[in-house]
Structure 1
């Protein structure tokens, strides 16, 4: 065989080998799908894109992200994840509570501290967060990858409120979450469950007189335009959870499982940096955009009037979740004691 023919033959083999390798890589690489509940630039969106960046920089996989409304509302994206249409979903316990009643624990008022350093330490070290909750999510076909805080809850109302009595006869929008309804009943208001897409219009037409959300969401959603009185009640932080369809996750190679876990850990560390100071910046934007906004920060005595009503919400939580919920609540409190004493 001449050298030319040998070269052509080797070149042909090399081309076939390269084509085979490329095909194999194409088979191994996947385009994963991830949906969350917020708008461009909001906390869940930042978390999702940090997760995406880690996945794509450390593998051949790609990640398609869907923001609020692109695939429906929160209930829709959860159904799509459970059905395996989506691989990953970010959903707050406010909506997951109907699926996993114990997740409503985050809506017991004055259970969580509002100091950021304590909150972050709790999410890092809590046995309830890192051991108990993954088991609860697993029972519903979900692999819990990361729980993380987004910001302190702030209530917006049609007029300043400083006591439970001043909440009387006010319809306050709540997520479709029975325990959150119990919280606002305890606070003296009339809880009104509404999907997010209806909130702005309902405030604008006075169908409801208030709602609660982290301050960055109040700013990005323009809620202050139709509900300009901001009340800092100190009753809790907004928490969210990023998870995967469990069948999908279990079907991954060990290498890809580690990739996903590492990406979730990376996104968590990045989001902690992102939310530091975010509330102050959002409030500055709100006040710069509107002269009608008022800010009321309850003092200790005013907070105590609301805090005194929290035990009835705890009782409702235990009634809803039974012995398992009571044990989770006890663990939650023990974890909080541990981080607060340090």
Structure 2
């Protein structure tokens, strides 16, 4: 097995849960069970995706396959889900590219500031179909016993803060919670903030206790985790879009019977336009919910001129990415720049 890097991160509690799942699976004789791990809670974008996936797979297989969904927290943190998929305990998982980038440097390409175009239809088409992604990133994941099934957007990364941020100097003495991604950490340091990586589950309490002064996530996440309750501003800076992947265990995928593999691949393809529309609707609905719950929340959309300042100051991140990921990463970045440039 090549997943040793991933296995090092599994906590004792997750190992206990793993053993429990394996014990239960030994008694599952009526149907083949596919276990799907989520980085997010019930009702989230990933949950909407997984529930639709479950309905389609179970319907198409006519009861031959049962999909079990494990929401955020049931099997540990995001890193644990990737570990469990690499070792075959889970068959499928969501893995955000920032988290995935800790082990697969090429995956951090999607965290480069201002990489994407302003046309999300085009962005999603590139994520779903660009061959360079599935060759370069796909091969890197195979080396970790993982298979890249698809990538999709979950919405704009919005800064929720307790201070108005309109220019880089506003980040002075500001502590921003970030995911544990070296490129994201470096980005906010360049912008002038102190970047503090911490688990998703600790963000609300850290905002409430002023351990951090802000965080960044899509609107649906800010609403469902109630981050808006402990911040005063929502700021659309255009810096990044939350990008997630669907991963499978590589050995499991290769061993699937041909009919089941066909069902899986067809379902993944069918869900691409579905989840794109669903995430737009959910982010709009949750923004309305935030406005209703907290009318005083300030909604700030940076102008193109303001965004340009942040884009310029964060330009060194591109070279840092190439340094971290080498020639494969450079090829991937060049391919994405070319594919996305038509809609800039």
**The two structures share one fold, judged by TM-score above 0.5:** yes
Equivalent in the alignment of 2:9: none
Question: Within the alignment, does 1:50 sit opposite 2:52 as a pair?
Answer: yes
1:222-237 alignment to 2 at 5 Å? Answer: 222-237=226-241
TM-score by length of 2: 0.88
The residue aligned with 1:198 is: 202
Pairing of 1:41-120 with structure 2 (within 5 A): 41-59=43-61, 60-120=64-124
Any idea what the Cα deviations from partners look like across 1:191-219, whole Å, max 9, x if unmatched? 10001111000000000001100111101
Deviations 1:275-294 (A, max 9, x none): 23433222111010013311
Q: Residue 102 of structure 2 aligns to a residue in which SS?
A: coil
For the 8 Å contact 1:38–1:45, the answer to whether it is kept is yes
CA RMSD of aligned residues (A): 1.5
Structure 2 partner of 1:268: 272
Where does 1:98-247 land on structure 2 (aligned, <5 Å)? 98-247=102-251
Deviation at 1:134, TM superposition (A): 1.9
Deviation at 1:118, TM superposition (A): 2.4
* Contact 1:54/1:266 (8 A) holds in 2: no
Quote the residue 1:16 is aligned against: none
Q: Secondary structure at the match of 1:308?
A: helix
| Aligned residues between the structures | 315
Secondary structure of the residue aligned to 2:117 is coil
CA offset digits 1:261-317 (Å, max 9, x no partner): 112112222212212343322211101001331111111211111011132111111
Deviation at 1:250, TM superposition (A): 1.0
Give 1:27 deviation, angstroms.
5.8
- Deviation string, structure 1 residues 60-113 (Cα, Å, up to 9, x no partner): 110100000011110111111111111111110111011111101111101112
Match of 1:295 in 2: 299
Q: Does 1:318 align with 2:314?
A: no
Contact 2:136 2:328 in 1 (8 A): no
User: 2:127, 2:85 → 1: CA distance?
Assistant: 24
Larger Rg: 1
**Structure 1 SS opposite 2:251:** helix
Distance 1:207 1:63 in 2: 39
Corresponding residue to 1:32 among 8, 28, 34: 34
Q: Mean alpha-carbon deviation: is it higher for 57-66 or for 316-325?
A: 316-325
Question: 5+ residue gaps in structure 1?
Answer: 1-25
Are 1:127 and 1:335, in contact at CA under 8 Å, matched by a contact in 2?
no
Q: In 2, distance between residues paired with 1:116 and 1:105?
A: 17
- Tell me the TM-score normalized by structure 1: 0.88
**Cα distance in structure 2, aligned partners of 1:169 and 1:295:** 22
Distance 1:337 1:290, change over 3 A: same
Distance 2:253 2:128 in 1: 23
